[in-house]
Every structure is written in C-alpha cells, then in structure tokens.
Copies of this chain bind each other. A is one copy, B any other.
C-alpha cells in the first residue's frame, strides 16, 4: 500500500482524465497513495469541473511532456478556471503498442490513442504509412475502446497497466521516440484547501502591446535573482496576436523576493493570476 506524499485527508477523492490505467491515475497514486478514491473524467474540462463542483477534493492533470511539449489545453484551463496548483510531480512514460490477443502487426489498420501519445511515438508510427491515427481522449481509454468494440484490426497506445487491466496483448514495448520521456503533472485544489507555499510558484499574466514589455516583465525576477524554469505563451481568444504568458519560478511565494517581484510585475501586467506556490514531489 503506497503512502501519500502530500499531507491530505485519507481517502481523498481525486479527479483525473481517463479510466483505469491512465498515466494521470498513476501520478495520482504516487502523490496520494493507493488509498485515494478515483474520480475518472472524460475531458480536461470535466476534471476541473469535478473539483469546482466538489465532486472531488483534488485533480491531477498532465501539463508538460519532454517529447511532445506542453499540454496546451490544460494551460488554457488553468488561466480560466478558479483552481490552484498545490503540488507538482513527474512520471517516466513508457508507451506500448497494444492489440487483441492473437492479433499480429500485419492486420492492424488503425491506431487509437491520446494525440500527445501518438506524437511521442511518431517515429515508430512513421514506419507504417498506411496506419490511420485516431485521436482518443485518453490512452487507457483507447485500450478499453478497442477491447469493448472487439476491433481486431486496431491497436492502442497506452501503459502496461492498461494492457493488463483489459487483458490485451503488448505487441511492441517502449515505442516512444526517446527513452527520456517524462510527463510533469500538477495537483489542483480549490482555493484555501491547502496552505500556499513551496519551492515553485506558477503565474500567468498578460501585457500591454508595447515594445520591450516582456523583457521588462522578466526583469522583475532577474533583478531579484529569481530563477525562471519555464515560459509558455498562449494566444488570447478574440485578440489576434496577443498572448498570455505562463511562467514557473524557482521561488516560494512566502519569500520576500517573490512577493516583491510579483508586486513589481503588477505595475506592468494588466492581468496577473498566481496559479499556485507548491512543493515538487519527487
């Protein structure tokens, strides 16, 4: 029985996208221990809603993968929806080419998986030009789908766990483009559920359209020796060619430097939201 790494009430309800065997569920087990109560959700949007409407106390969402890059849909939801980040963790991701027992490579015509997983295996898939790639909402869900529908000419890409849970066969193991394949996950909660603070602070902000304004915004951290570990930009809907910037700081919001820097940033940024200040769970 895995023990929780985050100090939370026992048997916390944790929302994540996908079903049994999903990588997000594995990340949730790492953080909350195996006593967590799973609240599987269909879409990233549903995951946020489950916590907002109190059907779950926490959510676990993937935010970045070392091969495919950021999970942009979740970045967009972090800016829009009223949840905060309370922890971060990461997992090594191994993808597998999963088919029905008895099926061989030759008869496979279609492959189902989450678009990020298809992208992480693009080199493997390029060898089979005639294979249709079908985006599915979740990796483990794609295994369930080809299993339940009896699709013998289809394969799914997912975890070893997902193959085992649905009694399917792994035809090729570890098909990701590069073994250095990790996904970073964020743990979300409603505001005030957990005290704020930890080694990392995430923010999102918008800037006026002025020359040099991003440089000025980054200077508020550089001037205080606060390290910036990630920057991401996303378009603002309805405002063509304008962006929201997401930044992860190696800094605790309870520190004097960090609070000064954010006060300084507010002078420049018409929009600023602190996404959370939280520990990294190794």
**In the complex, A135→B178 CA distance in Å?**
24
A225 on interface, CB distance cutoff 8 Å: yes
Q: Which of A30-38, A166-174, A236-244, A264-272 faces chain B?
A: A236-244
Question: Is A240 a contact of B69 with CB atoms below 8 Å?
Answer: no
Given contacts A135-B133, A135-B135, contact A178 B214 (CB under 8 A): no
Contact count band on A: 35 or more
Using a CB-CB cutoff of 8 Å, which residues 63-120 of chain A contact chain B? 64-69, 72-73, 115, 118-119
Q: Verify A237–B133 contact, CB threshold 8 A.
A: no
CA distance A69 to B68 in the complex (A): 15
Which A165-201 residues have a C-beta within 8 angstroms of B? 177-178, 180, 182
Is B240 within 8 A of A66, CB to CB?
yes
Closest B residue, CB atoms, query A220: B215
- How far does the alpha carbon of A238 sit from the alpha carbon of B67 in the complex, in Å? 8
Question: Hey, which bits of chain A sit against chain B, CB under 8 A?
Answer: 64-69, 72-73, 115, 118-119, 133-135, 177-178, 180, 182, 211-212, 214-216, 218-219, 221-222, 225, 227-235, 237-241, 243, 250
